[in-house]
Amino acid sequence: MARLSSERLKALDTAHHLHPFTDYKALGEEGSRIITEADGIYIQDAEGNRMLDAMAGLWCVNLGYGRQELVDAATAQLQQLPYYNNFFKTTHPPAVELAETLCRLAPKHMNRVFFTGSGSEANDTVVRMVRHYWALKGKPEKQWIIARENAYHGSTLAGMSLGGMAAMHGQGGPAVPAITHVRQPYWFTEGRDMSPDAFGQACADAIEERILELGEDKVAAFIAEPVQGAGGAIIPPQSYWPAVKKMLAKYDILLVADEVICGFGRLGEWFGSEHYGLEPDLMPVAKGLSSGYLPIGGVLVGDRVAQTLIEDGGEFFHGFTYSGHPTCAAVALKNLQLMEAEGVVEHVRDEVGPYLAQRWKELEQHPLVGEARSLGLIGALEIVADKAAGKRFDKTLGVGNLCRDICFDTGLVMRSVGDTMVISPPLVITKAQIDELVGLATAALDETA
Ligand code: PLP
């Protein structure tokens, strides 16, 4: 329960609180919705409205809200050792046990982890680690990192620079040097003049062209999410990843798979890389690592990079006060243990993922929906003005935001990325709750039309 009235909280919020990714003037006019409690896959606001949270917070509350085991793990650790660091030669049991568990769950060739406080810090770590690696290999000119347009990799300077969102690059730059962006494998918006597979190959070719422009001996790494999340739940054509993987091997370029959203069961495997048969050199993780209960992230490091760092690197001058924070690590450890014990990944792969795919596809019958796609428990709806031509509404109409607001008012949290509606529900969602989600989404689309 909130101590202050909803009205008072809204007024104080507007007066003092600068929210992330928010137009402050617009917020001042409209006021925030104050979320006060949550259980399972539902959240509730200060006025008592209950909503099905089809975004799992921000793609993170994978085990759902209200898990007492996670509260107990945090409480016990806070009592025993609330904080200590992992600098120099100290550590503590939660960091060690979490490192071991993560490496056991990760692809076989990943046996080390560097902890961070968030996904953005994980990607900052990636930038430093890949360039350091190549310098240690005697190739300091291998500096360039190729990322993708419309990608999101975080809000720190390096995270923003890896990201390919023009609006972010327009504020607070300049970006970190030697990072470049290539086209994204977003067939619905950019590739419909060819088959999905031809388009996937063309997007892979664009990476190769950029490598050759930069000089193959100048490129350190390629970074991408297995399925692009914040950009609009963009599921690449089947041809994309095999072609990219082959080409990176050809030019000896590291692969960084950003698993901040795709990791921990979202695509029906422990890591999204496994779904596509990737063998990344580095995997930044966060979000679902602790189901969002406490902030923690990390970079899983493959044997090739780890061996060089360890054998030849000397001291790695990098780390955060909260790298491997014991209370966050204890909660993350418990989260992974619960996921294993409850078969959450299998639940997504064998039960609710296929069921969502079937129910979600039905939404393509709706006059506003040009495409309904999903993989595991991530999905998107493309809202269009003209289905036959696949033509979008005029941007200034803000149809996606309208649909999002209608969803909010009618009990569903769905995200809009332009006119693309996105979902990423808690992984513990049931088939009956998927029916409820699809019913609410249909009603919201009807009202938007
Ligand atoms: N990478 C990806 C793919 C993300 O989606 C995000 C956040 O949404 C980040 C990195 C940044 O993570 P954080 O917000 O924990 O810094």
Beta bridge partners of 42: 39, 52
For the CA atoms of 208, 213, 215, 216, the dihedral, rounded to the nearest 10 degrees, stands at 0
Atom number in ligand 1 closest to CA 295? 15
Query: Domain tally for the chain?
Result: 2
Atom number in ligand 1 closest to CA 118? 15
Range of the domain at 151: 70-342
The CATH number given to whatever domain includes residue 269 is 3.40.640.10
Q: Is residue 169 part of a domain?
A: yes
Ligand 1 pocket check: which of 59, 287, 323, 424 to mutate, most ligand atoms within 8 Å of Cβ?
A: 287
> Is any ligand 1 atom within 6 A of the Cβ of residue 118?
yes
Mean pLDDT of 300-325: 97
Characterize 35-55 residue by residue with b for buried, 16 or more Cβ atoms within 10 angstroms of its Cβ, and e for exposed. Answer: beebebbbbbbbeeeebbbbb
Q: How many CB atoms lie within 10 A of CB 167?
A: 7
Q: Are residues 320 and 362 in the same domain?
A: no
Give first-to-last CA distance, the chain, whole Å. 37
Mean pLDDT of 190-214: 97
> Is residue 246 within a helix (H) or strand (E), and if so which, with residue range?
helix 240-251
pLDDT at position 48, please? 94
Ligand 1 pocket check: which of 21, 153, 273 to mutate, most ligand atoms within 8 Å of Cβ?
A: 153
- For β-strands 282-285 and 297-302, DSSP reports them as antiparallel
d(CA 318, CA 114): 10
Mean pLDDT of 1-11: 85
Cα(154) to ligand 1 centroid in Å equals 5
pLDDT digits (tens, 9 = 90+) for 368-380: 999 999 999 999 9
Complex ipTM value: 0.99
pLDDT digits (tens, 9 = 90+) for 338-370: 999 999 999 999 999 999 999 999 999 999 999
- Boundary (domain end) residue, out of 342, 361, 378: 342
pLDDT at position 30, please? 86
pLDDT digits (tens, 9 = 90+) for 138-152: 999 999 999 999 999
Q: What is the pTM of this model?
A: 0.98
Considering only CA atoms, which residue is closest to atom 12 of ligand 1?
119
Cα(404) to ligand 1 centroid in Å equals 21
Type of residue numbered 80:
Q
Q: Are residues 137 and 180 in the same domain?
A: yes
Q: Are residues 388 and 411 in the same domain?
A: yes
Cα(430) to ligand 1 centroid in Å equals 26
> Is any ligand 1 atom within 6 A of the Cβ of residue 424?
no
Q: Is residue 104 part of a domain?
A: yes
Question: Which residue from 202, 188, 268 is spatially nearest to 231, judged by alpha carbons?
Answer: 188
If you write DSSP's letter for every residue of 48-102 in order, what string do you get? --EEEETTHHHHT-TT-B--HHHHHHHHHHHHH-S----STT---HHHHHHHHHH
> Is any ligand 1 atom within 6 A of the Cβ of residue 126?
no
pLDDT at position 1, please? 54
The CATH number given to whatever domain includes residue 421 is 3.90.1150.10
> Is any ligand 1 atom within 6 A of the Cβ of residue 225?
yes
- Boundary (domain end) residue, out of 342, 363, 395: 342
User: Long-range contacts made by residues 189-197, C-beta under 8 angstroms, separation at least 24?
Assistant: 189/382, 191/237, 192/390, 196/237, 196/238, 196/239, 197/237, 197/238, 197/239
Measuring CA to CA, how many Å separate 1 from each of 9, 34, 44? 12, 11, 10
Ligand 1 pocket check: which of 260, 294, 328 to mutate, most ligand atoms within 8 Å of Cβ?
A: 260
